[in-house]
């Protein structure tokens, strides 16, 4: 596993973004782990988060694209942090863009924030965690309405590796439905592999009992 992935897993634990215990997801699933990206709350955390995204974007897509698009609202700070990190770490000036939830009719009018999207632009979409495709269905028409653009793919921070509406994972469904590449900084399989029976800051985050609970969860909700 690449060093930046290991660092990112520890970073999520430190920020309490990644937690283990007894939780219930929005869909009503009882889960032994929970990812809450709302716990990235400081400038220093966003600098580091942008750096991890930058490395994962570079690994998956290279730097041969023009615009990083972050859907409102959580995608707005992500696209800013990641484009700043790409500029700092790789010397490539990628434009950032997000959408508004409501169209503005004065001043900086329109539905977009940041850079406009133009004909022939190559776009990568950035989000926080694996989605069911709802955000993509809302934002793709916005992006495509700006011109003849090429949406290369989607990157999220963590792939939960759970079934979406069918037998495939949510990211696999997005990839198949919208014909775009999908990737994540880390998958939950990588998280478990790295943390299982590993002492981190004096504590074993995933012990045998937690590993059994995670395995049972994926037996029910994981991709077969």
Q: 64, 122 in Cβ contact below 8 A?
A: yes
106 as an active site residue: the answer is yes
Helices (H), the chain: 3-14, 43-61, 75-90, 134-144, 170-178, 188-195, 208-221
104 as an active site residue: the answer is yes
Cα–Cα distance, 47 to 51 (Å, whole number): 6
Among the listed residues 26, 106, 201, 203, the single catalytic one is 106
Among the listed residues 74, 92, 101, 104, the single catalytic one is 104
CA atoms within 13 A on the CB side of 25: 15
Helices (H), 28-74: 43-61
The set of catalytic residues is 104, 106
């Amino acid at each position: 596993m690449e060093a930046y992935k290991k660092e990112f897993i520890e970073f999520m634990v430190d920020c309490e973004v990644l937690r283990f215990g007894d939780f219930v997801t929005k869909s009503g699933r009882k889960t032994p782990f929970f990812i809450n990206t709302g716990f990235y709350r400081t400038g220093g955390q966003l600098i580091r988060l942008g750096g991890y995204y930058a490395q994962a974007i570079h690994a998956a897509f290279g730097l041969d694209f023009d615009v990083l698009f972050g859907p409102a609202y959580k995608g707005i700070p992500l696209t800013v942090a990641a484009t700043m990190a790409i500029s700092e770490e790789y010397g490539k000036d990628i434009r950032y863009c997000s959408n508004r939830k409501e169209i503005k009719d004065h001043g900086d009018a329109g539905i977009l924030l940041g850079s406009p999207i133009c004909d022939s632009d190559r776009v990568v979409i950035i989000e926080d965690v694996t989605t069911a495709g709802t955000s993509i269905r809302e934002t793709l028409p916005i992006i495509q309405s700006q011109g003849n653009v090429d949406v290369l793919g989607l990157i999220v921070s963590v792939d939960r590796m759970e079934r979406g509406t069918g037998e495939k994972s949510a990211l696999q469904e997005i990839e198949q439905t919208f014909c775009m590449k999908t990737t994540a900084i880390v998958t939950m399989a990588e998280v478990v592999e790295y943390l299982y029976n590993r002492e981190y800051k004096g504590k074993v985050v995933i012990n045998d009992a937690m590993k059994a609970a995670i395995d049972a969860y994926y037996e029910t909700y994981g991709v077969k």
